[in-house]
Amino acid sequence: MVPGARLIVLGKQGAGKGTQCIRLSHHYVIPHISTGDMLRAEVKHRTELGEEARTYMDAGELIPDDVVLAMVAKRLDQDDTKERGFVLDGFPRTVTQAEGLRDLLSPVELDLVVNLVVPTGLVLRRLASRRVCLDCGTNYSTSNRPRVDWICDVCSGEVVQREDDTAAAIRRRLDLYETETAPLIAWYRKAGTLASISGVGEPESVSDRIILAIDARRAPGADPLAHQGYEAHEPHPPHHAHDHDHEGHLLTDGEHEHPHEHDPWQHDPDLDDPGAGT
């Protein structure tokens, strides 16, 4: 039987956290806990928490730490996470949340915190083309559409462009990432649980790299300082000159396409400024 795991995936919005968390959740048979998905469900069902969260989310602002911590504490108290562990997506986002999580889990520790590293120019393009199923959270993009436009292949739910994937909200979220979330990288590095891994390339290659890092960390007799090796090592997959965009960022296959006018699946022209949000 595959052993469970306690994992966190950090990274800018659009770094591919959601996709990688789903893959890790299948690989280690652990629940995928996305605070963004949980909050969107609350908003959709118009709960008290949802009504409180909506304004923050639409503006790209962070929900107050105590509110998010209470929601996560409830989820971590369920049997599946106690038995198998979890992969946390979008949480923690502040040092206060990381401290809260440490206290919630104590004396149990995390296996690994993965820092998914992707250039800002590439995440802007990914976010602008992102579409998501409101019901099951499956991600699509302008180059990876559902079979029927706006209808989810997995659950037939409604596929939308997220309200907070507007140019202004994306810029705000990326700014907040730098000020609030990036300090977590140093915090987890100090705690000895961080692995920085390149999030550029096909999703399969990225998850192979992550799984390698997790398994190396958990191998019997693993050097407890081995994480420092991961931190220094940010591998890049083999690539060709035409795989780069005009800024020199590496593109994955689905990212070669250019926007077509009059196509509602295509992205917000406001985001065409490659320097935006950096």
CA angle 77, 105, 180 (to 5 degrees): 105
40 is catalytic: no
The full DSSP string for 63-86 is: PPHHHHHHHHHHHHTSHHHHHHEE
Of 173 and 217, the one with the shorter C-beta distance to ligand AMP is: 173
d(CA 215, CA 230): 12
Q: Which stretch binds ligand AMP (CB under 6 A): 54-62, 74-82, 195-203, 239-247?
A: 54-62
Contacts of 131 (CB under 8 A, 6+ apart): 139, 140, 141, 142, 145, 159, 160, 161, 265
Q: Select from 267, 261, 242 the least CA-distant residue to 252.
A: 242
* Smallest distance, ligand AMP to C-beta of residue 224, A: 28
| String marking each residue 57-76 x if it binds ligand AMP according to CB under 6 A | x--xxxx----x--------
Per-residue H/E/C for 161-192: CCCCCCHHHHHHHHHHHHHHHHHHHHHHHHHC
| String marking each residue 12-31 x if it binds ligand AMP according to CB under 6 A | -x------------------
| String marking each residue 148-167 x if it binds ligand AMP according to CB under 6 A | ----------------x---
User: Out of 130, 131, 171, 209, which one is annotated catalytic?
Assistant: 130
Q: Select from 171, 227, 186, 237 the least CA-distant residue to 207.
A: 237
d(CA 69, CA 35): 10
Size of the site for ligand AMP (CB under 6 A): 17
Our finding on whether 277 is near ligand AMP (CB under 6 A) is: no
Of 68 and 114, the one with the shorter C-beta distance to ligand AMP is: 68
171 is catalytic: no
Q: Scanning residues 86 to 115, which ones bind ligand AMP (CB under 6 A)?
A: 90-91, 93, 97
Our finding on whether 36 is near ligand AMP (CB under 6 A) is: yes
* Residues classed as catalytic: 17, 93, 130, 162, 173
List contacts with ligand AMP (CB under 6 A): 13, 35-36, 39, 56-57, 60-63, 68, 90-91, 93, 97, 164, 173
